[in-house]
Structure 1
Amino acid sequence: MTTDEQTYRIIGAAMTVHRALGSGFLEAVYQEALELELIALNIPHHREKALPILYRGTPLQAFYKADFVCFDTTIVELKALKQLSGVEEAQVINYLKASGLNKALLLNFGASSLQHKRLVFNLRESAQSADNHE
């Protein structure tokens, strides 16, 4: 299964949840419903998975707790906001940087229709560009 197929399956599960519940619930409600949908669709996942934050290769005591990690490769971050502001996207990019994973989905259930954004972070390119500025 390709990465795009995995992404589409996760977004499809989220759309099913949003169609059933609509907007207006707390994030925790969508998280519980999405887990039931992921199970029904046999999408491998970990709910509230602790991800270590690495600093120069050393894990810190602080960690990030992902709403979901699906397929052991993709952070899935849920929001229940009327509108995403861009702060949420920056937050997810920081989670990717810190965790060492490079793919994430930001899902917002708070709008009238499901909002979703796929984020990819290439650590190697970012490290090289940072090295070039020194």
Structure 2
Amino acid sequence: MTIDIITQKVIGCAIEVHKQLGPGLLESSYESCLMYELIQAGLLAECQVALPIIYKNVSIDAGYRLDILLPNKLIIELKAIDKLLPIHSAQLITYLKLSDIKTGLLINFNVTKLVDGIKRIRV
């Protein structure tokens, strides 16, 4: 499955969650429901995955957690905020670089139309 097909499936799952729940809930609620939808769609996904920093060949757990990871394929960073800011894109870009994964989705569920809250990032 290509990364474009995977991201389309993930976006479809996120849209379904947003249709069912709407805006205004906690990020953790969207995460749990999106995980359910991803598994139902046949995608292998993990949530709250530790992302260590490799510093001078030493793995250091600095407390970074990926909201949702499709191993070796895609990082999904979830938000439930008023507006996405450049710092949120920077956060996802950093996660992509640290994990050596090339594609990420930044999804903000606190919008009227979910497509307005989705940003795809490639490094």
Name the TM-score, length of structure 2 as normaliser.
Answer: 0.90
Structure 1 residue matching 2:93: 3-state secondary structure: helix
Task: List gaps (5 residues or longer) in structure 1.
Answer: 122-134
Give structure 1 regions of 4+ aligned residues with deviation exceeding 6 angstroms. Answer: none
Matches of 2:92 and 2:69, distance apart in 1: 13
Q: Percent identity?
A: 39
* RMSD (CA atoms): 1.4
Number of residue pairs aligned between Structure 1 and Structure 2: 121
The answer as to whether partners of 2:51 and 2:61 remain within 8 angstroms in 1 is: no
The residue that corresponds to 1:80 in the other structure is 80
Could you tell me how far apart the structure 2 residues matched to 1:12 and 1:54 are? 34
Who is 1:34 aligned against?
34
Q: Letter of the aligned partner of 1:73 in structure 2?
A: K
Task: Tell me the residue number matched to 2:65.
Answer: 65
TM-score, structure 1 length as denominator?
Answer: 0.83
Q: Which amino acid in the other structure matches residue 61 of structure 1?
A: D
Distance 1:106 1:99, change over 3 A: same
Q: Which residue of structure 2 lines up, in the alignment, with residue 117 of structure 1?
A: 119
Q: Which residue number in structure 2 is paired with residue 18 of structure 1?
A: 18
Question: Cα 1:71–1:9, aligned 2, differ >3 Å: closer, same or farther?
Answer: farther
The one-letter code sitting in structure 2 at the alignment partner of 1:106 is: L
Cα distance, 1:45 vs. partner? 0.5
Does the Cα contact within 8 Å between 1:26 and 1:80 map onto a contact in 2? yes
Structure 2 stretches lacking a partner, 5+ long: none
What secondary structure is seen at the aligned counterpart in 1 of 2:61? strand
